[in-house]
Amino acid sequence: MKLARIIMPMVFFMGSSLAFSDTTLNLSALKNGELIENYFNGGYGSLGSGPGPNYGISFSSLMAIISTNSGGSGSFSNNPSGGPVMYFVNYTEGYMDVPAGFGSSLSFYYAASKSGGLVTVWSGLDGTGTELAFLDLPLQFENEDNWYGTWSPETTSFSGIAESVSFGPAADSGYIGFDEISVGPWAQGGGGGSEVPEPGSFVLFGAGLIGLVSAVRRRPA
């Protein structure tokens, strides 16, 4: 039984400490004004950037804008990633779809000038189904010379499995950008950049191993 006593704590430690990890979307490979589209679905942006990482995530009506940190000539600067930021197309609401689903949390940074923003987590694709979480992002009173220089972190927690997130301006102006969008943990069977085994699998594997050891111990010589 000495072997079983060694294995048991290891199994339960593994089961309690492992979990699916969050995935942060990196826009650095996208071009200025490029629609994100299927870049994070192992595909390409609208201007041919890619193939990107296969996270099983697609975007509609949302594009990348190069910040001044990366040589861009727009109004975004000092964003946490230092690369492109996510922005709207024609100042309209855009969607991030995750068909495999993700749970628990959504986080990002945002910078807002003339208007705030609205971010909603949905149980269905393209902003359908049940509203799981809602963020009303307040206006940041930036000065006219540096509209997008201050970035605020936001995180929301929710119950259930989400399949989409809508990002929208609070007004027609659409003066708001997003950076370092992070989703997770992934639903069972989902995609994601970090494929960490499900904790329950380790517990079942360990329980079976312990049973096997016990059976061997009991077997007559």
Residues 143-153: pLDDT tens digits? 555 567 889 99
Residue 1 neighbours by CB under 8 Å, 6+ apart: 214, 217
Structure tokens at 28: 């650095």
- 136 burial class (0-12, 13-18, 19+ CB within 10 angstroms)? exposed
Beta-sheet strands, E only, within 117-172: 117-122, 131-137, 152-169
Structure tokens at 118: 């609205």
Residue 10 lies in a domain: no
Residue 213 lies in a domain: no
Domain tally, the chain: 1
In this prediction, residue 64 carries a pLDDT of: 93
Task: Indicate which CATH number applies to the domain containing 87.
Answer: 2.60.120.200
Residue 184 lies in a domain: yes
Residue 108's domain comprises 22-192
Residue 214 lies in a domain: no
Residues 16-65: pLDDT tens digits? 333 446 899 999 999 999 999 999 999 999 999 999 999 999 999 999 98
Are the beta carbons of 69 and 151 closer than 8 angstroms?
no
Residue 13 lies in a domain: no
Residue 100 lies in a domain: yes
Residue 205 lies in a domain: no
Residue 115 lies in a domain: yes
Q: What does each C-alpha distance from 15 to 1, 12, 19 come to in angstroms?
A: 21, 5, 8
